[in-house]
Amino acid sequence: MKLPRVDDVLAAPPLAAHHATYKFKKWAVQRHLAALRADRSNTESVTTAAVARCVADTLTEMLQVHPQPRINATGVVLHTNLGRAPLAAEAVAAVVAAAGACDLEIDPRSGQRSSRLQWLRPLLQALFGAEDAHVVNNGAAALLLACAAVASPGGVALARGQMVEIGDGFRVADMAGAAGTTIHAVGSTNRTHLADYEAALDAGATAILWVHLSNFVQLGFVHQPGLRELKVVAARRGVPLIADLGSGAVEGMATDEPTIQAYLAAGADLVTCSGDKLLGGPQAGFLAGRADLVAHCRRHPLARALRPDKLAIAGMHATASLYLQGEQTKLPVHALVSATPQALQARAEALVDALGWSHACIHTTEACIGGGAAPGTGLESRAIAVPTTEPHAVAQALRCGNPSVIARIHAGAVLLDLRSVPCESDAAIVAALQQGSVVDRLTAAGPRS
């Protein structure tokens, strides 16, 4: 295989005229040629023009704004790969407002330095009904900090049945122990008893960690003491009870997920959760509960490494404000989770009418909340089904289009599930299905009979 020279590729028209810097273009050409060289299956020579065209296209794509907006028609409301909770308009405005210089850590009255949580902290105390609250950059960080700051010196007792693996191969027990906290595994996979926790405390554990089974259910011959029972043991032994809730549901939400308030009322001394799951805010992690424990967390050196940035703080402040004004219906998550099947049916019918396709129909589907919330409880939903012999090609055309839609494939049909689509996006769904690249795919493949 013969490869072109770097300088020749750089001098070819598509690259010579490209707006990227010369250094970036050279880096991209070298990277592309190295990949061609490493690909042993490639025996054909490539032309200078072909390499230049390809590198120029790659550079253009790389320099576009990313991540790009996509319509989430997967039926998974809180899809981690699609950015979890969509922010409320108020939160978006707050993020934009904080992007320049802002009073992040200054008290405007005195001019003195203050805490970056000066505005958000009281809102969270009120919202969670907690003595105090602290904020870090995600739920995993909240768990890590809680264990590092309040479980020393002996570490936490954690039931084997609660050793949850969340997405991408990460395990809660590993995250809890990542700062050196000892994890005392108690009980068996399916059954854990109070005596198991007592034994772990006898063996040196100085905290109990409860982890909400956020993404799976256990059925059959199972036993796990409840938070209230654990609280009795924790109080008697004088150790803190940490509860990792995950979803961050608060009271007044249309789900059966346990809430932060309920965990605190059941006796958890410190609750950790995410900001961008059911709470509906930006990526963040919360620690809420006993003031002395939250103070330990706030002063721990890890707190500095895990602190949230001003954009997340601004978005979360606006989100918490909505709750405290009784306006949580303005949060997209609430609208999506609480939409009735009848409302979804009406939207689906209007969409199919607007499309005017004889082969598009409406399927009753089971959508879900996702994001580690309410496993096993589907949400009845409606999807626009596009039957085709080439579902993967059609789904790809939808993903790569503009508007871009992320659909799912089920039983040979491409499904656009409305449970995860804000109703403002309905017109864009029609436009996405009617764009040339998608229609071409459908015609080429032919609708499945």
Ligand X SMILES: *Cc1c(COP(=O)(O)O)cnc(C)c1O
Indicate which single residue of 71, 76, 164, 176 sits in contact with ligand X (rule: CB under 6 A): 164
244 binds ligand X (CB under 6 A): yes
> Per residue in 359-397, is it b (16+ CB within 10 Å) or e — as a string?
ebebbebebbbbbbbbeeeebebbbbbbbbebbebbbeb
Q: Bridge partners of 385?
A: 361, 415
Q: Which residues contact 442 (CB under 8 A, 6 or more apart)?
A: 386, 388, 394
- The strand ranges marked E within 307-346 are none
Q: Which parts of 238-309 fold into alpha helices (H)?
A: 260-265, 291-299, 301-305
411-415-421 Cα angle (round to 5):
150
Q: How far is the CB of 208 from ligand X (least distance, A)?
A: 16
**Which residue number, 80 or 338, has a Cβ lying nearer to ligand X?**
80
Q: How far is the CB of 117 from ligand X (least distance, A)?
A: 18
Q: How far is the CB of 247 from ligand X (least distance, A)?
A: 6
- Is-contact 191 162, C-beta < 8 A? no
Residues in the chain: 449
β pairing state of 71-72 and 132-136: unpaired
Tell the burial category of 187 from Cβ atoms under 10 Å away from its Cβ (0-12, 13-18, 19+).
buried
Q: How far is the CB of 179 from ligand X (least distance, A)?
A: 15
Cα four-point dihedral sign 320, 322, 327, 332: negative
Q: How far is the CB of 216 from ligand X (least distance, A)?
A: 11
Q: How far is the CB of 285 from ligand X (least distance, A)?
A: 6
- Binding pattern to ligand X, positions 332-351, x when CB under 6 A? --------------------
Cis before 341? omega within 30:
no
- Binding pattern to ligand X, positions 204-243, x when CB under 6 A? -------xx-x-----------------------------
**Which residue number, 249 or 415, has a Cβ lying nearer to ligand X?**
249
Q: How far is the CB of 127 from ligand X (least distance, A)?
A: 18
What six digits make up the tokens of 388?
Answer: 């085709």
- The strand ranges marked E within 96-137 are 132-136
Enumerate helices (H) and strands (E) in the chain, giving the number of each: 19, 14
155 binds ligand X (CB under 6 A): no
Using the contact rule CB under 6 A, the part of the chain among 92-100, 139-147, 303-311, 406-414 near ligand X is 139-147
Indicate which single residue of 308, 372, 387, 391 sits in contact with ligand X (rule: CB under 6 A): 372
140 binds ligand X (CB under 6 A): yes
Q: Which of residues 262-291 bind ligand X (CB under 6 A)?
A: 274, 285
CB atoms within 10 A of CB 21: 9
CB atoms within 10 A of CB 283: 21
Using the contact rule CB under 6 A, the part of the chain among 21-29, 164-172, 299-307, 331-339 near ligand X is 164-172
**Which residue number, 57 or 165, has a Cβ lying nearer to ligand X?**
165
How far is the C-alpha of 287 from the C-alpha of 135, rounded, in Å? 6
Using the contact rule CB under 6 A, the part of the chain among 104-112, 137-145, 199-207, 252-260 near ligand X is 137-145
**Which residue number, 78 or 348, has a Cβ lying nearer to ligand X?**
78
Q: How far is the CB of 374 from ligand X (least distance, A)?
A: 11
- By CB under 6 A, the count of residues binding ligand X is 15
**Which residue number, 267 or 370, has a Cβ lying nearer to ligand X?**
370
Cis before 240? omega within 30:
no
Indicate which single residue of 29, 52, 147, 166 sits in contact with ligand X (rule: CB under 6 A): 166
The H or E element that residue 387 is part of is strand 379-387
Q: Which of residues 290-329 bind ligand X (CB under 6 A)?
A: none
Q: How far is the CB of 120 from ligand X (least distance, A)?
A: 17
Site residues for ligand X per CB under 6 A: 138-140, 143, 164, 166, 172, 211-212, 214, 244, 246, 274, 285, 372
